[in-house]
Amino acid sequence: MPAVVCDSSTLIHLARINRITFLKDFYGKIVVAPAVWKEVVDEGQGRSGSSELKEAKESGWIEVIAPENKPLIQLLERELHDGESETIALAAERHAELVFLDESEARRAARILGLKISGVIGILTKAKLAGKVPSLRDELDRLREDAGFWIGDDLYHRALKAAGEE
């Protein structure tokens, strides 16, 4: 069954702006790799995303599943962090409907494997188009200012245009 797989960056940044539930609203169930759980919950205890991810797992809409393709993980780890490597391997193994990645190197690796990619900006754009937020600009500004998420001006304006705000 196709899954939606999510890396730590998307979880952390959505949590920082109190929008992590958009994942549940739009996709129902999310799968994360053990390295993502470790980064966000174990190592990130007390920081954004940690308690939200624990609650989501207890509620049953986030599941932790370990990828099995160790050679692929090792290959990916040459260029990427553990969480990104496990996320991409898990998405490939499960023939994921979608994988959430925000780092450009991770996205490049996922594209090579033919995975469909989105990220935090894609989720916020979808929320705007679905009427869940009144202003994508406000959400992106919060993401930049409150969450410390870097968004290039070109991407910022393309997202606003896609949402009909520019």
pLDDT digits (tens, 9 = 90+) for 9-26: 999 999 999 999 999 999
Both tokens of residue 66? Answer: 């370990």
pLDDT for position 2: 62
The domain 4-120 belongs to what CATH superfamily?
Answer: 5'-nuclease (3.40.50.1010)
Compute the distance between CA of residue 18 and CA of residue 113 in angstroms, rounded to an integer: 32
pLDDT for position 85: 98
Residue 1 has pLDDT above 60, yes or no: no
pLDDT for position 49: 82
pLDDT for position 166: 82
As a three-state string, the secondary structure of the chain is CCCEEECHHHHHHHHHCCCCHHHHHHHCCEEECHHHHHHHHHCCCCCCCHHHHHHHHHHCCEEECCCCCHHHHHHHCCCCCHHHHHHHHHHHHCCCCEEECCCHHHHHHHHHCCCCEECHHHHHHHHHHCCCCCCHHHHHHHHHHCCCCCCCHHHHHHHHHHCCCC
pLDDT digits (tens, 9 = 90+) for 120-144: 999 999 999 999 999 999 999 999 9
Residue 118 has pLDDT above 70, yes or no: yes
Whether 163 and 155 have beta carbons less than 8 Å apart is answered as: no
Mean pLDDT of all residues in 90-112: 96
Q: Where are the domains of the chain?
A: 4-120
Whether 87 and 7 have beta carbons less than 8 Å apart is answered as: yes
The position carrying tokens 């009427």 is: 131
The pTM of this model reads: 0.93
Other beta carbons within 10 angstroms of residue 146's beta carbon come to 13
Residue-averaged pLDDT of the chain: 95
Compute the distance between CA of residue 6 and CA of residue 132 in angstroms, rounded to an integer: 21
Other beta carbons within 10 angstroms of residue 33's beta carbon come to 27
Paired with 32 in beta bridges are: 64
pLDDT digits (tens, 9 = 90+) for 31-79: 999 999 999 999 988 887 889 999 999 999 999 999 999 999 999 999 9
